[in-house]
A and B are shown apart, each in its own frame.
Chain A
Amino acid sequence: MAAGATYFPIATTTLGSNQTNITFSAISGSYTDLILISHYASQLNNYNFFIRFNSDTGNNYSSTTLAGSPSGATSAMLSNYSNVLLTQYVGAGTSLTYPGDTIAHIMNYSNTTTYKTVLARDNAVKNDGAMQTGATVGLWRNTAAITSITIGTNSGYLVSGTTATLYGIEYA
C-alpha cells in the first residue's frame, strides 16, 4: 500500500472500565473500506469476539472460520446467526498481559446495493499451549450502508484497558 493520506483514524476507544461492548456510531460514508483494530481482553476464558453492524441483532449474519488451537486445525461455519462470530478462545486472552487482537477489514461498507462482508484475523496469546489463532470471513445480509459497528464478547465483558480503533481507507 502506498503511503498517503488514505488511512484515516475515524475513532479510537480505550475502555476506562469493564464494558460489555464498544460501539462506533455515525460512521461517515466517505471512505472506501474500513479497518478495525482491537487489542482486548475478556472477563471469561471461553468466549467469542463478535462484530455487529447497525445494531442489527437479527439472525442476518453468517461466518466461516479457520482456527489453530489446542484442538488442532479446525474450521466451522455459522449460518443465520445474530452477529459475525470470530474464533472461540479457551484459556487465553483473559488479561491484557496476554491479550487478544482482531484485525478486521470491512469492504465497500457504504454501498446500498450489496450485502456486506468482513475479513478478520484474530489471535489470543499466552505463554503456553492455550494460544490460538484464526481467520474469519463474515457476511451481513443487508444492503444498508454500515453506519455503526459494535464489537464485544458473547459472554462476560471486555476488561478495562481494551482498545479499539476504526480506520477509514480511501482509494483516492
Chain B
Amino acid sequence: MPNTYQVISSVTVGSGGAANIQFTSIPQTYTDLILQVSARTDEAGANWSEGRITFNGSSSGYTNRYVLGTGSATSSGSVGTAYVYGGRGTAAAATSSTFSNSYIYIPNYASSNNKSISTDEVTENNATAALAFFNAGLWSNSAAITSITITPNTGNFVQYSTAVLYGIKNS
C-alpha cells in the first residue's frame, strides 16, 4: 500500500524563540499540502496572536473569508490582505503551557491556477478568552507554491511551537 501522507519537513522552535517559521524548496511531486501548527507567542497582554501565511515571499494577492466563535459571540468577515490566515498562536496572557492548533489544507499547490487555502484554528484556554476560527483563503497567483512562511502579527513564536508540512498524493 503506498504511503501518500508524507512528512516533507518539520520545525520545532528553540529556546530563543522565532520571528517566523519557514518551509522552503517544497517539492512539486505531491497533489496537496497539509500544514499543521501548534504555536504560542510572546505577545504581551493578548490571549492569541493572529497567524499570517505568505507564499513564495509574496506579500500581495491574498483574500480571506472567516467565521469565528469566541464562546460568547460569532462573526464573519472578508479581508483582502498581504497574507492568508493560518498558524495562529495562543499568546502571553493565555493559560500557561497552552498552545494553539491549526490545520491548513492547500489543494493543487503546484498548479497554475489561483491557490485556495482552508484553515481551521483553535486557541482553547480553559477561560473565557478562547477562539475557534475557520477561514477560506485565496492567493491570486499562478505560481506553484515553493515556500511557506508563517509569521505572528505581533511578537515571536516561543519555544516548543511546532509546524509540520505534509505532502498528499492522489496516486
Contacts and interface: CB of A to CB of B under 8 A. Distances in A.
Contact of A98 (B3, B5, B114): B114
A3 B65 contact: no
Given A3-B166, A9-B2, A127-B140, A134 B134 contact: yes
Interface of B: 1-7, 31-32, 61, 63-69, 74-78, 80, 105, 107-108, 113-114, 116, 118, 120, 134-138, 140, 166, 168-171
A101 B2 contact: no
A37 B138 CA distance: 17
Give the contact-size bracket for chain A: 35 or more
Interface of A: 1, 3-9, 12, 37, 39, 66-70, 72-74, 96-99, 101, 103, 121, 123-129, 131-135, 163, 165, 167
29 contacts: A3-B3, A3-B7, A4-B3, A5-B3, A8-B1, A8-B2, A8-B4, A9-B169, A37-B32, A37-B170, A39-B107, A68-B66, A69-B65, A73-B67, A73-B69, A97-B114, A98-B138, A99-B113, A101-B107, A121-B120, A125-B116, A125-B136, A127-B114, A127-B138, A128-B63, A129-B78, A131-B65, A132-B65, A167-B4
A124 B65 CA distance: 9
Q: Is the interface of B mostly helix, strand, loop or mixed?
A: strand
A101 B105 contact: yes
